Chain A
Amino acid sequence: MSQEEPMLPDDEDDKRLMGLVAGGDDDALRLLVHRHHARLVGYLRGEVGSQATAEELAMEVFIRLHRAASRWRPEAKLSTYLIHIARNLVLNEWRRRGRKPTTALEFAAEPGDLSQGSARRVAELDEAFQRAILQLAPEQRTAILLVVQQELPYEEIAEIMDAPVSSVKTWIHRARARLRELLKDFYAQE
């Protein structure tokens, strides 16, 4: 598993590929999955805190995408549609199992060429942040992940979350405030 970014998605090419997928072209599906899965798994891992569950849910997202390919209308970007499905699956999963995101975190920072001391601090910070994010309310967690991690605009987040932009902004504001509170020991000097 590597953390590299795949080639940038091309919306027009996504539409063309979706047409092919609807016609039963498995190579087109393979290309779409290759293009979008990394960000989807990244987002899902932020939501559920587990790599295995994130991959399982991402797999289900693509299976649903394939099933809906013939009915899909390119009104939104495919990446938006995928995250929309993913979020619904996350909500269903919690409802079904009556569980919260896992607390056994699997996040490991990749220190690169950092010195041992800073690598340790990065790892500690990563774990503290991820633990805090998993304690947020679901709407706040989704909103903060989409705006900070996935760098999506408010309008797109509102579309994904089926909510007005004003609610999205409120969730993000509350998420930041809650995270600051949860991590106050790290940032006492601010």
Chain B
Amino acid sequence: MDNPEQTPFDQELAATLRRGRAVSVAGFAERVVVAVVAARRRRTVVRWSSALAAAAAVFVALLSLPATSEEALNRQTFALIARDESAQLADLFGAADDLSLLAPVAERPAVVETFVSPGS
């Protein structure tokens, strides 16, 4: 970078900036190591607490949920299919497919009456 064609400005710029090129700080390496060791401890604590929390959750789930085997689940599924609640509802009403049951009850507005029976 030391070019003989440099102007005084370039020379001063280079000289000024290079004076601050390296700033050695006493004890800096030790401070970094202390910070890194602290961060490592924090990470270890966090990792162990998450593992313990997960293990505790599994333990509680095992205790509180009823044990359901695959066979029991199959039985429950078949029972639900056999029960077919929608069919039971249709039986209750006897005419589940009669849509008139679902039609809203409303009076015809006067204007509709006029168009429906214009001669009357």
**Residues of A participating in the B interface, judged by any CB pair closer than 8 Å:** 1-6, 26, 29-31, 33-34, 37-39, 41-42, 45-46, 51, 54-55, 58-59, 62-63, 66-67, 107, 109-110, 125-126, 129-130, 133, 144-145, 147-151, 176, 179-180, 183, 186-187, 190
The 7 lowest CB-CB distance pairs between A and B, nearest first, are A149-B17, A38-B22, A33-B29, A38-B24, A129-B16, A34-B29, A41-B23
- B interface size (C-beta, 8 A): 29
Point out the residues of chain B lying under 8 angstroms from A150, CB to CB: 21
**Pairs across A and B, CB under 8 Å, 23 listed:** A3-B19, A3-B22, A4-B22, A4-B24, A26-B33, A30-B33, A37-B25, A38-B25, A39-B22, A41-B22, A54-B23, A58-B28, A59-B28, A62-B32, A63-B36, A66-B39, A107-B20, A130-B20, A148-B18, A149-B17, A179-B9, A187-B7, A190-B7
Q: How far is the CA of A178 from the CA of B23 in the complex (A)?
A: 26
Residues of chain B contacted by A46 (CB below 8 angstroms) = 17, 20
Contact of B19 among A66, A126, A151 (CB under 8 A): A126
> Are B9 and A190 neighbours in the complex by a CB distance under 8 Å?
yes
